[in-house]
Amino acid sequence: MGPNFIERAIDWPKGLLLDDYQVGQVFEHHWGRTVNDGDNSLFSTLTLHFNPLYFNAEFARAHGHATTPVNPLLVFNVVVGLSVEDLSEAGGPFLGIDKLSYLMPVYPGDTLTVRSTTLAVRASETRAGTGVVTWRTEGFNQRGEKVIEFERTNLIRRRAIGGL
């Protein structure tokens, strides 16, 4: 690489600013993520989520599942994570999740894809140089079935004024 690669590096800004969002704007987030048994076991263990439905196949079968479903909190985290690059990578405080609905189980081997729609964009009433953006985010399995949906809100910097 050579000693002067930092001098040659180009600063590549990431994420969008408040001025880039419009109500009704749709983001088809790229990549997707296949969730596997290891993800499910590790997440459930590390978060001390010891509901046997998510790690005991016999228990899951006794409750109507062919195998252990994926922990819904992992599904939520994967879906939020897949939306970050397009929605909030530029930074700004996370303000909350509303209207979270788990619509159907996700199973190991399912591939999740994500779509978000901008619901609201407004200037902050209390923080100059920022605004509040709300999106509806939907997660789908590989068959196009909606498995999760929620609304998420972030404080986002404005381009014209500067920042947080």
* Measured distance CA(145)–CA(53) in Å, rounded: 22
Domains along the chain? Answer: 16-36+70-157 (3.10.129.10)
Which two three-digit tokens encode residue 129?
A: 């140089």
Q: For 3-53, give the DSSP string.
A: TTHHHH------S--GGG--TT-EEEEEEEEE--HHHHHHHHHHTT---GG
Helix then strand then coil, in percent of the chain rounded to 5, is 25, 35, 40
Confidence band (pLDDT; 50, 70, 90) for 161? Answer: low
Q: Which pLDDT does position 53 carry in this prediction?
A: 94
Residue 70: Cβ within 10 Å count: 25
Confidence band (pLDDT; 50, 70, 90) for 110? Answer: very high
Instruction: Using the predicted structure, report yes or no on whether residue 1 has a pLDDT greater than 60.
Output: no
Q: What is the pTM of this model?
A: 0.88
* Measured distance CA(158)–CA(103) in Å, rounded: 35
Distance, CA of 117 to chain centre: 13
The region of weakest confidence among 5-9, 27-31, 38-42, 158-162 is 158-162
Q: Which pLDDT does position 44 carry in this prediction?
A: 94
Q: Could you read off the pLDDT of 76-109 as tens digits, one per residue?
A: 999 999 999 999 988 789 999 999 999 999 999 9
Q: Which pLDDT does position 2 carry in this prediction?
A: 64
The region of weakest confidence among 77-81, 146-150, 157-161 is 157-161
